[in-house]
Amino acid sequence: MRLRIAVAPFAALALAGSLSACADMGGISLTPAPTGASAEAASYGDYMSAQLAATQHDLNDASKLYRESLSDNPSDPDILDHAFLYTAANGDVGQAAHLATRVVATQADNRAARLTLAVAALKKGDYADARMQIAQSGKGPFTELTLSLLDAWAAAGQGDTKTALADLKLVPTQGGTDVLAAYERALVLDLAGQNDDADAAYREALAGGASPRTIDAYGRFLERTGRTADARALYTKLASGRAVGPISAAGLARLDAGTKPERLVPTASDGAAEALFGIAASLTDETSADIAILYLQLALYLEPHLDLAKIVLADRFEALDKYDDAIAVYRAVDSDSPYKMAAAVQIAIDETHLNRNDAAIADLKTIAAAQPSEISTWTALGDAYRSAEKWPEAEDAYDHAVKLLGTVTDKDWPLFYARAVAEERSHHWNLAEADLQHALKLSPDQAQVLNYLGYSWVDQGRNLTQALAMLEKARSLSPFDGYIVDSVGWAYYRIGRYADAAKTLENAVLLVPGDSTINDHLGDAYWKVGRKLDAHFQWSHALAFGPEADEKPKLEEKLKHGLDVAGTPS
């Protein structure tokens, strides 16, 4: 069977913030400058290599090569811009700030440069300079929001809570939300010691959505102000949540030990880091990955122990298929962080993306032995075994995960689907069939599950009418999935609708032209409608496209004798 497997084993802990991603990034862009006069004036090799690295999202090489190119032509503004931006995005914010001073010497209102200089000033505790940099920045629909938040924290650092709160009043009008404004206001008031107003702002933010950061900040506030019963109730209520669970566990451990935490945001610099992180976490669309990385690097420069920012940064690298970079960031998560175990699991998942299955399996077995009740570990282990095509081991790992589910919800369908795939490949069809049906009961409109079960029934010659209906539904849900279109065509073939089969399978071949099974199916359909020369042509293609070992002799037999002698393949 050649069905694709789509299973998401681990819900990344990135905050799905309520800000809407802005297509206009206010003039801040990491897109390489076009080849032209700059390339001719600079060291051509370094410049072109820098562009290639930038295109491949290789931030380390891009920043290094753009700086080397800049050293050969220090007056070129395009190279300077990109050397600055890629150096900042690579996390070398101190060096980027040095380059930013050169940028603003000729582009006084450059938004990215002024932002970086403001962050550098905040890091030093020079809040007046930070506000000066913010004031001189160019304005735009996205940067207005960022600059208002940073100015609020710079004002808070100066002890000017009134100005900070005035800045935060502008947040909802600049592309932010009432929830974001309430959260940042709570942090400012908490830092200023205005506990009653801080409590009200925290509760307002929580009413808009219990994010991990809001829970962490408010829980710490309750602990510090002696409201331990309220803190325990908050943590206990949310302990089962996968994203908030680590925060609740850490808070309950502190309460049991009788220790009090510091504020989540103990300084104005930390508050600015929190603001940058919150914006970056909201930029979840693919086109915003570069700018999210820049903001996260700025946040981590201000607060190197902001581990949730590391989790989100690694997630953004994963979105760009930069798995080695993601692994490096996950490894930097603090050893005592509530996210350390989640980071370790994600490292193993990224190792599977890099085809390091043995390393991933070894890592996950170690984690599972240490924390056997963590469902994400067993799910990831099942996926690692699946990537290595160790189906019985994958089935066993998924079994452990299912037993840990507790109350099953519609969000759990991928786990039953994953286990079904492992069961089917382990020749435990009855178990696989039951899991596929259960997955569809939880979420009836999953095209891949409909396809897997429907195609399996067609291949077995069972429930053909029901199977065809399921496959046609799957096709309506994913009309450009060539494998699903093939399944529909093969269902037509098995029930004797050969003309419909040929037409449908032609569409499947157009969508996935290099698949041996689909070409084989189309050849069979052509033979049945009398197009025998075309059938031989498709079977030849199928043989050339690397069929599975047990299919090769069947194709060779068809090429010699056709279906009249070879028979209809199973």
Which pLDDT tens digit goes with each residue over 258-308? 999 999 999 999 999 999 999 998 888 777 888 899 999 999 999 999 999
| Token pair listed for 412 | 């759990």
What are the start-end ranges of the H helices in 461-497?
Answer: 464-477, 482-494
Q: Is residue 452 part of a domain?
A: yes
* Structural domain boundaries, residue 477: 446-570
Contact at 8 Å (CB) between 167 and 131?
no
Is the confidence at residue 39, as pLDDT, over 70? no
Q: Is residue 486 part of a domain?
A: yes
Contact at 8 Å (CB) between 163 and 149?
no
Terminal alpha carbon distance of the chain: 11
As a whole number of angstroms, the distance between CA 438 and CA 456 comes to: 16
- Look up residue 196 and give its amino acid: D
- Residue 155 confidence (pLDDT): 98
Is the confidence at residue 32, as pLDDT, over 90? no
Which pLDDT tens digit goes with each residue over 314-336? 999 999 999 999 999 999 999 98
- Look up residue 143 and give its amino acid: T
Which pLDDT tens digit goes with each residue over 518-549? 999 999 999 999 999 999 999 999 999 999 88
As a whole number of angstroms, the distance between CA 421 and CA 423 comes to: 5
As a whole number of angstroms, the distance between CA 219 and CA 88 comes to: 33
Q: Is residue 479 part of a domain?
A: yes
As a whole number of angstroms, the distance between CA 162 and CA 145 comes to: 18
Is the confidence at residue 438, as pLDDT, over 60? yes
As for how many domains the chain has, the answer is 1
Is the confidence at residue 59, as pLDDT, over 80? yes
With residues binned 3-state (H G I as helix, E B as strand, rest as coil), the percentages for the chain, rounded to 5, are: 70, 0, 30
Contacts of 142 (CB under 8 A, 6+ apart): 22, 24, 25, 26, 28, 175
Q: Is residue 502 part of a domain?
A: yes
SS3 187: helix
Asked which of 166-170, 193-197, 243-247, 414-418 is least confident by mean pLDDT, the reply is: 243-247
- Residue 564 confidence (pLDDT): 78
Contact at 8 Å (CB) between 477 and 447?
yes
Q: Is residue 466 part of a domain?
A: yes
Q: Is residue 348 part of a domain?
A: no
Q: Is residue 45 part of a domain?
A: no
SS3 537: helix
Which pLDDT tens digit goes with each residue over 145-204? 999 999 999 999 999 999 999 999 999 888 778 999 999 999 999 999 999 999 999 999
Q: Which of 371, 437, 428 is nearest to 396 (CA)?
A: 428
Residue 42's pLDDT band, with cuts at 50, 70 and 90, is very low
As a whole number of angstroms, the distance between CA 124 and CA 102 comes to: 20
CA distances to 1, 65, 115, 301 from 96, rounded to whole Å, are 53, 14, 11, 11
* pTM of the predicted model as reported, rounded to 2 decimal places: 0.80
User: What is the arithmetic mean of pLDDT over 43-50?
Assistant: 74
Q: Is residue 192 part of a domain?
A: no
- Residue 45 confidence (pLDDT): 72
* Mean pLDDT of the residues in the chain: 89
- Count Cβ atoms within 10 A of the Cβ of residue 315 and give its class: 0-12 exposed, 13-18 middle, 19 or more buried: buried
User: Please, how many CA atoms are within 13 Å of residue 303, restricted to the half-sphere of its CB?
Assistant: 23
Is the confidence at residue 17, as pLDDT, over 70? no
Which pLDDT tens digit goes with each residue over 331-383? 999 998 888 999 999 999 999 999 999 999 999 999 999 989 989 999 999 99
- Residue 147 confidence (pLDDT): 93
Looking up residue 522, the CATH number of its domain turns out to be: 1.25.40.10
